[in-house]
């Protein structure tokens, strides 16, 4: 299979790269880390104005009506510059949840607000321990008086949970297991019984929160779609999100390779640029091979997301595991090849290393992804499943 970007996709990529290079400079990224919410509202507003939040949302709801390849292009370009914004939580998680789970009336009511940024959503789709997938969900949704429901439990590592107006919460019916009995509900962030606590994260560019639900009463209309029927759609959305994360990892790894190669050309030791030393050349060559292999996995998976849903679980697991490993290895090598300056706070190398480590764990570690892949291949689960 030969993959080539279309002219439109190349234009999207080049425009996004130019914008991120200009507006997501190191100084602005670092300033955003200290801002309330962990991102710069003015920059996010510009992204909304350009229609990025609705890149894969149908035009009927105010979106661009494009696909997952185009969304992944934007995710990759933001990964190159570590853009701190709610883009991933909004476009790669919340939007597909509305599209996959909600009724047509619910989509018409809320998707335009998501696309315009008038209403910000965060997605509580992990359990109290943060495990990926349906098996880790611990929040419960039980029928309550007057045809409503009561939500109890917690979700950890909710991306941009502190600044969201509403939370999309995955919860299960009491006694249910696996994909069965899962519902998705919209919970106003200021609802009675909701507690949000900012977490101290390794990756400062992607703030997360722990959200607890203490007997939160919800009317029936706040259930997206049909109660206890969201399991398959939730699994699909998480696979799509893993592909978007894989694209982000490709962008970050590619930028680290470029940054490190430029430094190796400029840094002189013993009267020669360090890039002329064979050991350094070998490290850079290994990084390049890892980046190119990761690109193949990521863009194949993005195409699968758009064209071949049956292959989605396999492609998502391959892309997330390979691209996470590539980014982490490139970030680690980048720090070492930069020498002393690479270990300092003033250099951006540590920001890429932290993003790489955190992104690898988010929505399932490479080991967890390979366990899912082995199961899909019929090899069976291991006696001791890997930690997520």
What is the pLDDT, as a whole number, of residue 36? Answer: 87
Nearest-angstrom CA–CA distance, 152 and 221: 18
pLDDT in tens, 115-150: 999 999 999 999 888 888 888 899 999 998 888 999
109 to each of 105, 114, 221, 337, how far by Cα in Å?
A: 6, 10, 12, 51
Lowest mean pLDDT among 128-137, 353-362, 367-376: 128-137
What is the pLDDT, as a whole number, of residue 131? Answer: 84
Q: How confident is the model at residue 388 (pLDDT cuts 50, 70, 90)?
A: low
CB 182 within 8 A of CB 176: yes
Nearest CA to 304 among 254, 244, 359, 380? Answer: 244
Question: Tokens for 5?
Answer: 């970007």
What is the pLDDT, as a whole number, of residue 197? Answer: 96
Q: What is the DSSP string of 233-298?
A: HHHHHHHHHHHHHHHHHHHHHHHHHHHHHHHHHH-EETTEEGGGSHHHHHHHHHHHHHHHHHHHHH
Question: Tokens for 285?
Answer: 């060559």
Domains and CATH numbers, the chain: 7-116 (1.10.540.10), 121-228 (2.40.110.10), 232-376 (1.20.140.10)
CB 302 within 8 A of CB 311: no
pLDDT in tens, 199-223: 999 999 999 999 999 999 999 999 9
R_g of the chain, CA atoms, integer Å: 21
């Amino acid at each position: 299979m030969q993959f080539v970007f279309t002219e439109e996709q190349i234009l999207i990529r080049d425009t996004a790269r130019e914008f991120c290079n200009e507006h997501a400079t190191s100084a602005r990224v670092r300033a955003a880390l200290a801002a309330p919410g962990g991102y710069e509202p003015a920059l996010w507003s510009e992204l909304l104005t350009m229609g990025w939040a609705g890149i894969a949302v149908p035009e009927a709801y105010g979106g661009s009506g494009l696909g997952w390849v185009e969304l992944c292009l934007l995710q990759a370009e933001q990964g190159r510059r570590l853009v701190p914004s709610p883009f991933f939580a909004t476009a790669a998680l919340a939007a597909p949840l509305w599209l996959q789970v909600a009724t047509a009336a619910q989509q018409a009511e809320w998707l335009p607000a998501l696309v315009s940024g008038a209403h910000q959503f965060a997605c509580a789709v992990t359990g109290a321990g943060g495990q990926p997938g349906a098996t880790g969900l611990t929040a419960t949704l039980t029928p309550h008086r007057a045809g409503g429901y009561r939500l109890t439990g917690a979700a950890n590592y909710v991306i941009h949970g502190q600044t969201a107006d509403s939370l999309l919460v995955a919860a299960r019916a009491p006694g249910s297991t696996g994909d069965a009995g899962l519902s998705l509900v919209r919970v106003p962030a200021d609802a009675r019984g909701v507690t949000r606590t900012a977490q101290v994260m390794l990756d400062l560019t992607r703030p997360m929160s722990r959200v607890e639900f203490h007997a939160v009463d919800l009317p029936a209309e706040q259930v997206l779609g049909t109660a206890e029927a969201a399991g398959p759609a939730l699994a699909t959305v998480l696979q799509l999100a893993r592909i978007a994360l894989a694209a982000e990892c490709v962008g970050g790894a590619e930028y680290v390779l470029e940054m490190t190669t430029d430094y190796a050309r400029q840094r002189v030791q013993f009267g020669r640029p360090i890039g002329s030393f064979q050991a350094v050349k070998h490290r850079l060559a290994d990084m390049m091979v890892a980046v190119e292999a990761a690109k193949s996995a990521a863009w194949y998976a993005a195409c699968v997301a758009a064209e071949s849903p049956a292959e989605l679980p396999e492609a998502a697991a391959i892309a997330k595991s390979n691209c996470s490993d590539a980014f982490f290895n490139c970030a680690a090598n980048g720090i070492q090849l930069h020498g002393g300056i690479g270990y300092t706070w003033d250099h951006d190398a540590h920001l890429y290393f932290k993003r790489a480590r955190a992104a690898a764990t988010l929505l399932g570690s490479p080991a967890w992804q390979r366990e899912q892949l082995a199961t899909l291949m019929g090899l069976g689960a291991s006696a001791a499943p890997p930690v997520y």
